[in-house]
Structures are given as structure tokens and as C-alpha cells.
Structure 1
Amino acid sequence: MTSTSTLAWGAGSGAAADMVRPGEIKDAQYPIRPVPWPPPAACRLHGTARLAGYRLEDDGGCVELWLTLAVMSGAIFLFVTEKLRVDVVALLVATALLVLGVVTLPEALSGFSNQATVMVAAMFVLSGALQRNGAVVVVGDLLARIRRPWLFGLVMMVLVTCVAAFVNNTATVAVFLPLVLAATTANRWAPSKFLIPLSYMSQTAGVCTLIGTSTNLLVDSMARESAGVGFTLFEFAPLGIVFVGISMLYLTTVGRLLLPDRGVPGSGSADTIGRYVAELLVPDGASVIGRARGEILPEGHDEVEVLELLRDGRAVRGADARVETGDRLLLRGLWQDIDTARKSLKLRFDHVARDLDGDVKAERLHVEVMVAPGSHLIGHTLSGMRFGHTYRARVHGLHRRQLGVHRPLDQVPLTVGDVLLLDAPITAIADLRGDRGLIVMGSRAQRKVDTTKATLSAVVMAAAIAAAALGWMSIVASALLGCIALVVLRLIDPDEAYEAIDWRVILLLAGIIPLGIALQKTGGAALAANQLINLVGHYGPTATLAAVYLMTSTLTEFMSNNASAVLLVPIALATADSLGVDPKPFLIAVAFAASTSFATPISYQTNTMVYTAGNYRFSDFVKIGMPLNIIFLVTATLLIPRFFPF
């Protein structure tokens, strides 16, 4: 369908009245080309429409545009509020656009065949082989030998950078997290001094290569399909290395002063990773029987708080409520204080599953495990999944940041970052370590490294990267060949390969890509680009670049980095086209801004992981991450045009 309309741009409030026609520039230092409106695929309404200062001179507006904007607004709301999982939201977006007729069936399903989706899945398998065979764990030996805090932090950041540039950064943090906790505990250092740098460096290192993060691959894939512009494997490296240097310098100087000291695990000031909620049974003879809620804890137990008095699974409230035999108390505090109160008040843990005791002579351990990103435990309760029988362990405590617990522990839906304190036999540790949904944090013993398999896994990864870097084949082809080599050489079996893939990320990519297609088809990207130009375009492409970076960075602090990249890539391409410049600088700005999110603990999965483990507060990320975000914004604005000229 054709259209005769033109989207006009002009300076000031008179832009709608004083329309700039194709080839004509008014009050602008840089050549800004009007974008055709609406695009060929758009449908039309009768009449003349005005949109935010733009005049559409034709016989129609665009129904598909408004439908796309409505779907996008709903997606942003769901991403920010986290009312649904991000992969579910992405699939809802693709389905809605298909049902509404905005995209065709092949376009709605194109995300599943997109090279970024395939490449990310392949890289999960390659990274998974390194993890399972212990290749990455070897670096923990270096950390364990360091006795000076400043040197430990520096070596840790260097090692994380080397690994995260080629291995998924969430997997990198999952490997390093227990190593750092073990080393800091052994040396009596506060983990909170090291875990934020661990997360930040893993993100920054990811922008050094095309395969460092799924966001880079997504930006590259969308740019190739939309504008025929792509990136080589190490094209990000020069700027990425500068970002790594800045981040490392900041974290070892200013950041070191801003990092909080939340205490040493096991010391009098802090126990394990923070405050737990424990559910304790009131047996016959307990000293608390007959006491009112405010009298349950006598003097000397001020560090422990009574959250709820539970009877038959329900909270008992009221001034006249008294503790009875068989009731359960939810106590919150440091584990050492809770255990002291338990013994003093003659409370006990309820051994409801006697068959979990097994050999009564077997050594039993308290093991801390974290619910990992993408875990199959997320959203499920302990009772619903029969956690105790599955893992041969009882849950004695639950640690959750910022949220109170007011129901029996086995009825609390688990979420990312939850830490469970388990009472388990030593024989159950291997099963806990082998589960991808859990990160064992409380044991110093590390899984044995299979030297031969670890070496071969690293060789396969290196060969796949080298084949792409030398131009022998595309990175997608070399990665897929690498996956096949891993299976053929028995370095990973097919079931383990499937388990290594984070399918939530795959579905997120596949489902959200059609939204980028819809934004381009309906002219939404062109509209946003011209709005952006209307605000800062007359200051030149460098100012516009800074605005694109700022928009992406701000969005990423509150929603998925891949989702924000999908929204901004079409806008970046349309902005470059309107300015008549090379789109690469704007694409680089989107990729870097979406991959480096520091100011909130919810902005990136690695931030969420260390948020709990380091016993941080929300304000810690704002205080430390916001200045780094601003530094990166200024650096990107100054250096992107030098490395990638307009």
C-alpha cells in the first residue's frame, strides 16, 4: 500500500506549521532527512492527524502503529513490574502482534530462527561444558592463595574479565561466587567488599566481544536484518577494553571507598550471608507456652525478631493470643542468634520427614544454597516440589532481601536470589552441586576437575572463536560445530547440553524480536527517532548519540537488557538514517548501555545474585553504580565517534 505523506521535522514549536520538505533543511546544523510516513506496510485512516508536533499530510494515520505502541507499553509495564516472567511476556508480545495483524506468521516466528537466538543457545552449551568439566573452577586456586585484600580484588577482577569476555556472565558469576565467598571467609574479609566488583566486571567484560553477552548478538542480528550492518567478533574490543580499564580503576579507587562493610561470615557482627527466617516448633515443655506474642523473647534476645505466630498454618494475631503447644514461630535474625534463642526457649526444628534422617551416624552439615537465575525452583514452594525428599535435605532457614515472610516456610514461593540454609548429610552435597538451579555457597570443597575434559572443552571453545575470528566461517556456524564436537568427544552428553541452555533467555529473544520488526514496519521507530532529533538533533549527532545511550541505560535499569535493546535498535537505525550518518555508532551505544547496568540490584541477573550473597542494600547499588553509569555515558559519548566515526 502506498502513501503520499511526509513526516515533517522542524525547529521549535512551529514545526508542524512550517513543514520541512524532502531535501530542505531549516535551522539545522546537520542534514536531517525526513522519514517517509507512514511506511508502505501501514494502514490508513481518513483525515489529517497530528502527532506530538509532527504533521502527517495524507489521507490516513496508522492503526498498526497505535496497536504496536499499545503492545509495547503493556510489555514495558510487565517487564518493570515483573508481574509475569520475562519469557512469558515476550511470548505474549509476539502472540499479540500476530493476532492483531501487525506482523505476519513468518515474522512472528522469525525470532526462533534468528541467528542471535541460535548463537546464544550454542554459547550456553559451550560455556556449560567449561563449567561441568571444571575448566573455569581452576582459576579459584589462584584466589585461594592470595592474602592481601587489594591484590585479591584486583586478581579477581582480571580473572573475571578474561572469562566473562567469552563465557556467559551469569555463568561466570555463578562459578566465582562460591569461590569468592570461601576465600573471603577464610581470610576474615567482608564479602560485601568484593561481590559488587564481581558483578560489575562480569558485565563490563561482556561488551569486549560479540559473543560476550546475548545483547551484543541480538543488536548485531537485528542490525544485519534491518540495515545490512553487522559487527565482527572483536570489533567491540577496543572500546570494550577502555570500559574495562575505567571500571577496574573506579572499583579499585573510588568504589573501594564506597563499598560497604557488611561483616565477615561467621563473625560476631554477621553470620553467614545475612539474616534468616527460621520456622521453629513449640514442643511440650517449651518455656514460651502461655506467653503473649510480645513476651515470647525475653531480655537478652534483642537481635531476634518474632515475625509471626502460626497455628494450623495460619497467623494468629491479637493482643490476647497466647502460645500453645504445637504452634510454630517465625523468627528472623542472624543464624547464631536464632540458634541461641532456640536452645534457650527449648524450641526445635520439626523433623516431619523422619525418612530423611538416613544413617544417624552420618555427618550432617549446614549448607547454604542460592536459587539461581533461570532455576526450575522459581515460583514453586518447598512442599509443592517435595524439596526435602528430592534433595535429601531439610530447610532450616530462608534468607530473602527486603521482603518479609509471614507464612510457613514450605508455603513460600521461591524467587531468584533466595538463600536456603539446609540441614543435609554430607552425601547430599554432590547432588546439590550438580543441580543447575542451585548455587552451593556454604561449602569450601570444590568439585573435582577432570583435567582432560576441561582442557578439551577449552580447546573446542578456543577453536570455535578462532574459526570465526579468522573469517573461516560465521560465528554461528563455528559455534554449532563446537557444540557438535563437544557431544562427539563425550565432553558433554545431549541431556547436559539441553540443561546448559537457559531456555528463558532463548524464549525472551525469540518472543521479543517481532516487536522490533513491528516498530520498524509501522513507523514507530521513525516517530521516536524524529522526536529524539526534535529534542537534541540540532546539537549534532554526538548529542543525539548521548541521548540514545541515556535512553537505553535508563530503560535497562528497570527491565530486561535484551528487551531494552530490541526497543532501541530500530530507533537507533531510524535516527542514523534521519541524520544521514553511519548507524554503527548508535548501535554500539545501544549494545554497551544495555549490557552495563549498575544502578539497581534488579537491573541485571548478576546484580541480583550478589545482592543477596553480599547482604547489600538497594542504596548500595545506587551509590556505587550511578556514578559508574554517568562515567560510562560520558566516555561513550566521547569515544564511540572516535572508534566508530559518523
Structure 2
Amino acid sequence: MGLGRNDEGRVDYANIAAATPQVWLTLALLGLALGLYVSEKLPVEVVSIGMLSVMMLAFHLFPVADAAGKNQLTPGALLAGFGNPALLTVMALLVVAEALSRTGALDKLADGVGHLRLPNWAMLLLALAVVGVASAFINDTPVVVMFLPVLQAMAQRGGLASSRVMMPLSFVAILGGMTTLIGSSTNLLVSSALIAQGLPGLDFFDQTPMGLLVAAVGFVYVVFVMPRLLPKGTAGLAGHLLGQGKQFVSQCTVGAGSALEGETAAAGTFRSLPDITVHLIVRDGRPVYPPYDDVQLLAGDELMVAGTRKALSDVAARLPGLLSVPDAKEDDFDAEPPAARGRDASAGERVLVEAMIPPTSRFAGFSVDQLGLQRHGVTVLGIERRARMIRGPTTEIRLQAGDVLLLMGPWDAIDQLRAERDLVVVSGSAGSLPKVHHARRAAFVFLSMVALSAFGVLPIAIAALGAATILVAVGTLTPRQAIRAIDTKVVLMVGNALALGEAMDATGAASFLANHMLAAVGDIGPWGALVAFFGLVAVATNVLSNNATAVLFTPIGVGIARQLGLDPHLFAIATILASNCSFATPIGYQTNLLVMGPGHYRFAHYTKAGLPLMLLLWAAFAVGAKVVWGL
């Protein structure tokens, strides 16, 4: 079903072969899948499983026979995508990224940038550069999550509205993901789609030359032009919103030989308590009030502190046993309630939840230590009261209706609290305590994975699966956490997209679309065809997900390359770069949705700032195809 060429070597569009019924069936299924994904009337999981079921039935009734008369699209062939090395690699990389996030390995990188003493503009520029580099090797979602509060704080200090930095954060992460094979799941899926077409996959740095050119152009636009197109807001509003984070009051005692003993305050803060406000120090029964310039902490000092949930959880992870109700022992933090013993090992995993004192609670008027939660393995890390800031010792605090407690304990104990009528566990507030003592281990495993795959010692599939296995085996992640890190929506959608790609190849639908696309644009030559294809994919990725766009358009690009006698890998790289141009809508990529709330954006803001970026990268690619590839 190919296009012929005339005596001058030009493509002859005069006669395009007629499509078979299976081609029209495949194109109809493709259109149906795209329509359902875009409309979002049904969950992604339902659409994916439903389309797989329909395809298996359709090609059982209307088989696509090979030369030997056997059906090429059996259920086994259509479901083979779920065992695809690229999909398994994506799943493994999600587990690795989860380990880096849960151990706080990325927090150290973000905090290191956030605490540098540089001009505000230089710190913002450096932070975005670090985000771009990190996203080339790490899934960009955890990178954005880690740097989001850092960029918010920088914006506040610099007198900028958060709307000026949140969208650039997401876009720079996407640009960084363009530059290496593991920078985005999109890249791995395109490589896998090449292999499914009977071609060699992409190597680690195959896309890097063109990716760096396109990303560099985009970075300049994002840093210097985009902020001018984003809503100005007010710095005061940004600061006000930042100040609305819940501040939990807690109490800690400086133990002999602890990290806090002997520490001297600098500018009123203590190095071991970053982002924590010390309201009061009680020494030998006497209060010491701020400011604490040159105050040195001594063993036995009691500190009344306040901080956000993240700040308190970071301290609790780094200094076990420090934050607690008075007289709590360090061993209490790892204690399991009797009901947890003998169950899944992940039940003893320490998690944080928020629980509220309801109006009818019998706990109203109780002190923290009278709650009796510790005998169940649950510790109160802090108390938040919306009416006013509590400054006294926690032993003197009498709980009131509406108070929110920050609790830490094993899963089973937290599950038991959900049945407690006098304490309402806030839905969706559960989160595991970072295992900061595993941070170096997680970073070492990750860097080893990158090195082994980058230098060709191991294929990325083996390196990623091995890294994920090691991280679970050494306790950096529990099996439960590893499983929860895998997004079932992505798995099912990609499996369905790979099945559609297999059908498009086997039926000839991909070649049919390639022929008609070339006929539509006319005889514009290899360079024109490649640039036009890039534009088509870039538009599609802002409507579909980037993963679905990449897998569905790769066979079409391969078909065009074969018709033009070009290296299919050029079209594969074009597919990667174009699929990552998801800037014009918030639904194009998940990090765009992550920053939508903190940046106070509307849909139109993405189009106003992101559409010019997409067009700019299209132009940069057109130039790069001439300069880098010599087309």
C-alpha cells in the first residue's frame, strides 16, 4: 500500500491504494478512542479496557491474515502491550521516583537551592535550571512537587506573585524531559513503539542533540518572556496565601547528646529546625522568649515550636522521637498496636494524618496526654487551632472543638482511629513519613541506574526494573508504596494505545494515514513533511495525553518515513519532542494541573502563555532539522 515515485524521484500522489475493511475498522476504533479520551465522559480505565475488549472481538470476527493465513491480531497480540519492555520500564521508573520522593532525596536538592544567598532573580534562574536538569533523569512530577514550595518561597521573598513562577516551573520540567530517553515516559513509549514496528529502539542520548536545541530555545522564552504574559496578581496576595498553610504547635525536649544540644541560634533560628518557628524555650522552669540571637540550646530545654505539616514531618523523620507529647519514648514511634502484629509488614509503616475534634467529642477539654493514643502506637506531633496561635506548653493545652491534630502511627492504628467518633480523621490527609535515613541509598541506586543505562552497560529496562527491585528489597519502599506508585490509568491507557498501534501496523492503517497526510500537504520534500508532522503531533498532544499521542502517532511517523525513504528514527524523535509540547492547555500534561491551583491560573492563561511556546518550539525544530540533521 505504498506510494510510487516518478522518474524524477518525486512521490506520485495520483493513485492511492484503496483501504481494506480492516483499515476502516481500525481507523473507526482509533477515532472512537480519541473521542472518548478527549470527552472524559467515561473514566480512562473504562475506556481503555472497553476498547481492548472491542478490538479483540472485532479482529476475531474480521481477522487480519498474514501470508500463512493466520490472524495477526489475536487476543495475545493485542494484549502483548502490557508486557512491553517500555511500559514495564515506565512502571519501574515510577517506583524509583517514588523512592526518591519518600526518602527526601529530592528535598535536599530543592532545599540546597532555596537556601543559597543569591539575588532573587539569580535564585529563580538557578532553581529553574536545576529543575530542567533534574527532569532529564527523573520523572518530572516529583521534581515539580519538590520545587513547588521552593519557588513559592522565592517568589514571596522577591516580591513576585506565585502566578509568575508556577507555570514556568511546570514548563521547564517538561522541557528537561525532552532531552534524554528516560526524561519522560513518553520517550520510552516511542522507543517501544519503534521496536514493535520491527526497528531498533532509541539509545539513551539519541534525542539529546535536537532535544537540547529545542529545550534551550524554550528555556529562554520561559524565563524571560513568559512571566510578562502571565497574570500579575500581587506579591501581597502571594504572601498572604503562603501564610495560610496550617501551622501546627508542637513541643520537644532537647536530649543529652542529641543533634540540638549545643546548637546556637543564628538570626533567631536553629539550623536543625529549618522552617520551624520556636516560640518559647523553657529552661529550668523559666521561660526564654525570642529573639534568640546567640542563645545556645542545653540538654533538658523544652521548646514550644510551630510549623507546617511538611516542616514537622521532616523534623520527625530526621530526628526520631524529638516531637511528641511529654515523656514519649523514641521506641513508641515504631511500636505496633497488637492488632498489627502478624499482618502485612507494611502495616507498621509510619504515616501522618490529620484528625479533627468534632463539636460533640468527649475529648473536648482533654489535654494531649489524656487522649491515650500512644498505647495504640499513635503519637501527636502537633496541634492546629484556627482561632489563634497557641504559645503555651502542650501539657497545658486543653483541646477544643475544631482543633486539628497532626498524628503519626502505623497504618492499622490509623485505620482503627477512623472508627472513633470522638476524633474525625480528615479524608485524604494520610501520607507516609519520609525515610530520610534511606535518602543516600535511594540516590545511589538511582545514579547507578542512570549510569548503567547511559553508558550502555545495561538496557534501560533491566536497569530500571533492577533499581526498583533493590529499593523495595532494602526497605526504602514498602511493597504497598511501590504498588501505589504505579498509576493504573497510565498502564491501561498505554496498553490500549499499544494495541491500537499494533492494529494500525498490521492492517496497514498507519501507512494509509501516512499516504493521505503526504497527499494533503503536497510534495514538500522530507524536511517539509517532517516539520508538518511535528506540528500535527504538537497540536494533538494538547488535547490528548502526551503518552497516548506518542504511541498513536509513532506508527504514522514510521509510515511517512518509509514512504519518503528517511530514517524512521528521525520521525520518532520528532514524535517525542512534539508530544512533549503540551503547553497550550492545562490538560496536556499532569504537571500543568499540579501548578494550576498554586498559580491561580485559568484555562486561558495556558493558551496565552503556552501557545506561543509551542509555536516557537515548532520553529526551533524546523531550524534544527536543517542544522542538526541536514535535511
Q: TM-score range by the shorter chain?
A: 0.5 to 0.7
- Gap change, CA 1:612 and 1:598, over 3 Å in 2: same
- Identify the range of structure 1 (202-211 vs 492-501) with the bigger mean alpha-carbon deviation: 492-501
Distance 1:440 1:638 in 2: 49
Question: Which of these residues, 186, 189, 200, is aligned with residue 160 of structure 2?
Answer: 189
Equivalent position SS for 1:208: coil
User: Partner of 1:558 in structure 2?
Assistant: 543
Question: Which of these residues, 250, 254, 263, is aligned with residue 225 of structure 2?
Answer: 254
* Structure 2 residue 60 is the aligned partner of structure 1 residue 79: no
Superposition deviation, residue 140 in structure 1: 2.6
Distance 2:206 2:101 in 1: 27
Distance 1:580 1:571 in 2: 14
Distance 1:170 1:456 in 2: 21
- Gap change, CA 1:625 and 1:30, over 3 Å in 2: farther
User: Partner of 1:169 in structure 2?
Assistant: 140
* Structure 2 residue 449 is the aligned partner of structure 1 residue 478: no
Residues 229, 609 of structure 2: 8 Å contact kept:
yes
Question: Which of these residues, 60, 77, 80, is aligned with residue 107 of structure 1?
Answer: 77
Superposition deviation, residue 604 in structure 1: 1.0
- Gap change, CA 1:265 and 1:163, over 3 Å in 2: farther
* Structure 2 residue 427 is the aligned partner of structure 1 residue 457: no
What are the Cα deviations for residues 402-459 of structure 1, in whole angstroms up to 9, with x where unaligned?
Answer: xxxxxxxxxxxxxxxxxxxxx7624248999xx9x96999xxxx97672x41111111
Where do residues 474-623 of structure 1 align in structure 2 (5 Å cutoff)?
Answer: 474-623=459-608
Residues 362, 426 of structure 1: 8 Å contact kept:
no
Which residue identity is paired with 1:90? S
Which residue identity is paired with 1:83? K
Question: Which of these residues, 627, 635, 640, is aligned with residue 620 of structure 2?
Answer: 635
User: Partner of 2:451 in structure 1?
Assistant: 466
What are the Cα deviations for residues 201-243 of structure 1, in whole angstroms up to 9, with x where unaligned?
Answer: 1101011111111110000001012031321112222222223
* Structure 2 residue 89 is the aligned partner of structure 1 residue 119: yes
Superposition deviation, residue 538 in structure 1: 1.1
* Structure 2 residue 11 is the aligned partner of structure 1 residue 32: yes
Distance 1:89 1:393 in 2: 44
Residues 273, 613 of structure 1: 8 Å contact kept:
no
Which residue identity is paired with 1:216? N
Residues 520, 570 of structure 1: 8 Å contact kept:
yes
- Gap change, CA 1:485 and 1:65, over 3 Å in 2: same
Aligned residues: 468
What are the Cα deviations for residues 305-338 of structure 1, in whole angstroms up to 9, with x where unaligned?
Answer: xxxxxxxxxxxxxxxxxxxxxxxxxxxxxxxxxx
Superposition deviation, residue 633 in structure 1: 0.4
* Structure 2 residue 106 is the aligned partner of structure 1 residue 136: yes
- Gap change, CA 1:524 and 1:572, over 3 Å in 2: same
Superposition deviation, residue 186 in structure 1: 5.4
- Gap change, CA 1:221 and 1:179, over 3 Å in 2: same
- Gap change, CA 1:222 and 1:393, over 3 Å in 2: farther
Superposition deviation, residue 473 in structure 1: 1.8
* Structure 2 residue 197 is the aligned partner of structure 1 residue 230: no
- The RMSD of aligned alpha carbons is 3.5
What are the Cα deviations for residues 373-406 of structure 1, in whole angstroms up to 9, with x where unaligned?
Answer: xxxxxxxxxxxxxxxxxxx999x9xxxxxxxxxx
Distance 1:567 1:592 in 2: 14
Residues 99, 442 of structure 2: 8 Å contact kept:
yes
- Gap change, CA 1:117 and 1:358, over 3 Å in 2: farther
Where do residues 205-220 of structure 1 align in structure 2 (5 Å cutoff)?
Answer: 205-220=176-191
Where do residues 315-464 of structure 1 align in structure 2 (5 Å cutoff)?
Answer: 354-355=360-361, 425-428=404-407, 450=436, 452-464=437-449
Residues 227, 573 of structure 1: 8 Å contact kept:
no
Residues 168, 213 of structure 1: 8 Å contact kept:
yes
Which residue identity is paired with 1:123? L
TM-score, normalised to structure 1, is 0.66
Residues 217, 620 of structure 2: 8 Å contact kept:
no
Distance 1:591 1:75 in 2: 21
User: Partner of 1:92 in structure 2?
Assistant: 50
Distance 2:538 2:474 in 1: 42
Residues 182, 204 of structure 2: 8 Å contact kept:
yes
- Gap change, CA 1:425 and 1:227, over 3 Å in 2: same
Which residue identity is paired with 1:582? D
- Gap change, CA 1:173 and 1:519, over 3 Å in 2: same
Distance 1:70 1:223 in 2: 23
Equivalent position SS for 1:136: helix
What are the Cα deviations for residues 118-138 of structure 1, in whole angstroms up to 9, with x where unaligned?
Answer: 000110111111111100011
Superposition deviation, residue 70 in structure 1: 1.6
What are the Cα deviations for residues 496-548 of structure 1, in whole angstroms up to 9, with x where unaligned?
Answer: 21122222212221122100111112221111111111123511111111111
Where do residues 11-90 of structure 1 align in structure 2 (5 Å cutoff)?
Answer: 22=4, 24-25=5-6, 31-32=10-11, 55-56=16-17, 61-90=19-48
Residues 92, 465 of structure 2: 8 Å contact kept:
yes
- Identify the range of structure 1 (628-637 vs 97-106) with the bigger mean alpha-carbon deviation: 97-106
Distance 2:188 2:368 in 1: 49
Segments of structure 1 that go 5 or more residues without pairing to the other structure are: 1-5, 10-21, 35-52, 275-349, 364-391, 397-422
Superposition deviation, residue 260 in structure 1: 1.9
Distance 2:434 2:93 in 1: 23
- Gap change, CA 1:508 and 1:645, over 3 Å in 2: farther
- Gap change, CA 1:261 and 1:65, over 3 Å in 2: same
Distance 1:634 1:215 in 2: 21
Distance 2:57 2:77 in 1: 12
Superposition deviation, residue 357 in structure 1: 6.5
- Identify the range of structure 1 (246-255 vs 541-550) with the bigger mean alpha-carbon deviation: 246-255
Distance 2:210 2:125 in 1: 21
User: Partner of 1:199 in structure 2?
Assistant: 170
Superposition deviation, residue 642 in structure 1: 4.1
- Gap change, CA 1:224 and 1:352, over 3 Å in 2: same
Which residue identity is paired with 2:38? V
Superposition deviation, residue 620 in structure 1: 1.5
Which residue identity is paired with 2:480? D
Distance 1:560 1:83 in 2: 15
Residues 98, 485 of structure 2: 8 Å contact kept:
yes
Equivalent position SS for 1:227: coil
Work out the percentage of aligned pairs sharing the same amino acid. 30
TM-score, normalised to structure 2, is 0.68
User: Partner of 1:293 in structure 2?
Assistant: none
Distance 2:161 2:362 in 1: 35
Superposition deviation, residue 67 in structure 1: 1.7
Which residue identity is paired with 1:590? T
Distance 1:550 1:194 in 2: 27
* Structure 2 residue 210 is the aligned partner of structure 1 residue 239: yes
Distance 1:593 1:238 in 2: 15
What are the Cα deviations for residues 25-69 of structure 1, in whole angstroms up to 9, with x where unaligned?
Answer: 17xx654388xxxxxxxxxxxxxxxxxx85547xxx522222212
Residues 528, 571 of structure 1: 8 Å contact kept:
yes
User: Partner of 1:302 in structure 2?
Assistant: none
